[in-house]
């Protein structure tokens, strides 16, 4: 597996990865109509810009296995607070094979390198156990207002960096 900064040419593949991960990983925790609203439509210009500016990916044989991002300074295209992890998606075929954990480790190191003392994220219900295994803390289910016009149960989580 190779971790690298995402490029503009990766945006379409990462959009597809995102949608597949949502449909597969979240299916047992959210209603099907909500999942369809979450993935509906074509890739947006905003998504393309964020991929170019902030995304990292793990690939194997030029196939993206996982992606994610961390906000380490005041963002230009996202509203995430500094130290927030976001858009962590793993190819359903690669789940449980270490790609997600490797991505979290990489993003944590970027946070440490930027002088951050903690990381935060909004975990989907299905992903919260994974994040807990990675050292994140959080139990309370809250409502996340999606920019796509719906609300989603999530678990705000935090991890102190040492």
Query: Residue ranges per domain, the chain?
Result: 2-160
**Mean of pLDDT values over 3-16:** 97
pLDDT tens, 96-113?
999 999 999 999 999 999
With 0.75 as the threshold, say if the pTM is over it.
yes
CATH 3.40.630.30 is held by the domain 2-160: yes
User: Please, what is the angle between helix 45-54 and helix 11-25, to 10°?
Assistant: 100
């Amino acid at each position: 597996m190779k971790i690298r900064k995402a490029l503009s040419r990766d945006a379409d593949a990462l959009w597809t990865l995102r949608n597949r991960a949502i449909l597969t990983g979240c299916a047992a925790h959210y209603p099907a109509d909500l999942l369809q609203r979450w993935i509906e439509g074509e890739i947006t210009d905003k998504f393309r810009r964020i991929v170019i500016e902030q995304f990292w990916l793990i690939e194997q044989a030029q196939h993206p296995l996982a992606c994610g991002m961390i906000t380490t300074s005041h963002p230009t295209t996202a509203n995430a607070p500094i130290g927030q992890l976001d858009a962590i998606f793993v190819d359903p075929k690669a789940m449980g094979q270490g790609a997600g954990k490797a991505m979290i480790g990489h993003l944590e190191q970027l946070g440490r390198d930027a002088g951050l003392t903690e990381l935060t994220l909004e975990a989907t219900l299905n992903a919260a156990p994974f994040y807990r295994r990675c050292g994140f803390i959080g139990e309370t289910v809250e409502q996340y207002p999606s920019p796509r016009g719906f609300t989603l149960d999530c678990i705000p989580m935090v991890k102190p960096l040492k």
